[in-house]
Amino acid sequence: MAEALREKSSARSWRAPRLTLRQREAIEAWLFVSPTVVGFLLFFLGPLVAVVYFSLTEWNLLTQEATFVGIQNYVDALSHNPDFWHVLRNSFVFAMGLVPLNMALALTLALALSRPFRGVVFFRTVFFAPVVTSAVAWAIVWRFLLQGEGGAVNQMLALIGIDGPNWLREPDWAMVAVIVTRVIKMVGLNMILYIAALQAIPRDYEAAARLEGASNWQIFRMVIWPLLAPTTLVIFVITMIGSFKVFDHIYLMTGGGPENGTLVLAFYIYEQGFKFFNVGYASALAMIMFVIVLVLTVVQMTLRRRDMQ
């Protein structure tokens, strides 16, 4: 009898264990998120880890020869390559020019267009349209407008007696030109974010401040601007990351020229990896760019958090 009982119990132990509700839910939840998780691992984390590994090799794409070289690519970039520092400087100039200009313009437009008035939708559409315009079409049109002698921009400047430069063929002016045309293209996106944030601020705050006798500037400075801080932080971070990653615009407008005047980091990485096939070196540069953007973002977030407190 005891034998029989033991047999029975061991037979029961072979049956699939009964799951608790909690466990069942956990399994179901994992099944639901698994497509995303697999996608994340395969297409995001995988390549990211691979880039770290590639950056430690000297790998020629064409010959398929890869040798492990340790941190040599990083050493080469940071100490033996004057081009790298020039390119890094260009990237910072681009970001320092683009981010403030873009944010200031976006905020100004948002303040003007956040309240309803006749035609507001039209104006919002006008400023947002470039965001959804093809980058190629945008670049082709601007290359025509910015021609040295026959360009529309210079012809307009000539009307007010200014002899405009050959915009895309002089290194300093080319940088100005790519920054401004990029700002005009992308400002609509930040404008929409600011409009959403402005519309979320209760009107009572402004009314209360006005009762206290605050001027428009005081209301903006003391009430609206602080309340926009979280949005400003988000906009700053995405605009800055975007400006460090800028590639298509440079590729289409100047190809990094003239005289490497607009050769920015993302474009330089492309050249190294896709034109010279130095995949290892390009990966190391990509890691450096990743770290720079990460540091800038963390610094900005820390400062902001302290500010808000």
Partner 1 sequence: MKLRLKTLSASTVLALGLVSGQAMAEELRFTVWTGSEAHLKMLNEIAESFKATHPDVTVRFETIPAADYTQKLTFQLAGGNPPDLGWMMEDAAPTFAAAGVLMDLGPTLREAEGYDFADYSEPALGLWVDGEAVYGVPFSTSPFMIYYNKTLFDEAGLEDPLQLAAAGKWNMDTFQDVAKTIKEKTGKWGFEFKDGQGYESRIMHALMPPIRAYGGDVWANGECGFDKPEAIAAVQQLHEMVFKDKSIVPPGEQGDYFSGSSAMTINQISRASKMPEAGFDWGIAPLPSGPAGESPVIGQAAIVVFERGEQKELAAEFVAHMTNKENVAKMAQFFPPARKSVLESEAFTAANALIPADQMAYVSEAIEKGKVLPSHERSPQILAAMAPRVDALWKADADVKQALAGVCAAIEPLL
Among 134, 275, 306, 309, binds partner 1 (CB under 8 A): 275
Q: How far is the CB of 133 from partner 1 (least distance, A)?
A: 20
Q: How far is the CB of 56 from partner 1 (least distance, A)?
A: 19
Q: How far is the CB of 256 from partner 1 (least distance, A)?
A: 8
Using the rule CB under 8 A, is 164 a contact of partner 1?
Answer: no
Among 23, 100, 274, 303, binds partner 1 (CB under 8 A): 274
Using the rule CB under 8 A, is 163 a contact of partner 1?
Answer: no
Q: Which is nearer to partner 1, 279 or 293 (CB)?
A: 279
Among 17, 70, 116, 150, binds partner 1 (CB under 8 A): 150
Using the rule CB under 8 A, is 43 a contact of partner 1?
Answer: no
With a CB cutoff of 8 Å and minimum separation 6, the contacts of 274 are 282
Q: How far is the CB of 271 from partner 1 (least distance, A)?
A: 6
- Contact indicator for 240, 257 with CB cutoff of 8 Å: no
Using the rule CB under 8 A, is 260 a contact of partner 1?
Answer: yes
Ranges within 69-108 binding partner 1 (CB under 8 A):
none
Q: Which is nearer to partner 1, 143 or 245 (CB)?
A: 143
Name the residue with tokens 């949005």.
Answer: 231
Using the rule CB under 8 A, is 127 a contact of partner 1?
Answer: no
Q: How far is the CB of 97 from partner 1 (least distance, A)?
A: 21
Q: How far is the CB of 86 from partner 1 (least distance, A)?
A: 10
Using the rule CB under 8 A, is 63 a contact of partner 1?
Answer: yes
Q: Which is nearer to partner 1, 50 or 207 (CB)?
A: 50
Q: What angle do CA 294, 297, 299 make, to 5 degrees?
A: 105
**Near partner 1 by CB under 8 A, which window of 18-26, 142-150, 226-234, 241-249?**
142-150
Name the residue with tokens 């970039």.
Answer: 77
Using the rule CB under 8 A, is 167 a contact of partner 1?
Answer: yes
Using alpha carbons, list the distances in angstroms from residue 275 to 61, 175, 181, 235, 282: 10, 23, 26, 33, 11
Using the rule CB under 8 A, is 259 a contact of partner 1?
Answer: yes
> How many whole angstroms separate alpha carbon 179 and alpha carbon 93?
9
Using the rule CB under 8 A, is 277 a contact of partner 1?
Answer: yes
Using the rule CB under 8 A, is 166 a contact of partner 1?
Answer: yes
Q: Which is nearer to partner 1, 61 or 292 (CB)?
A: 61
Residues in the site for partner 1, rule: CB under 8 A? Answer: 60-64, 143-144, 146-150, 166-169, 171, 255-260, 271, 274-277
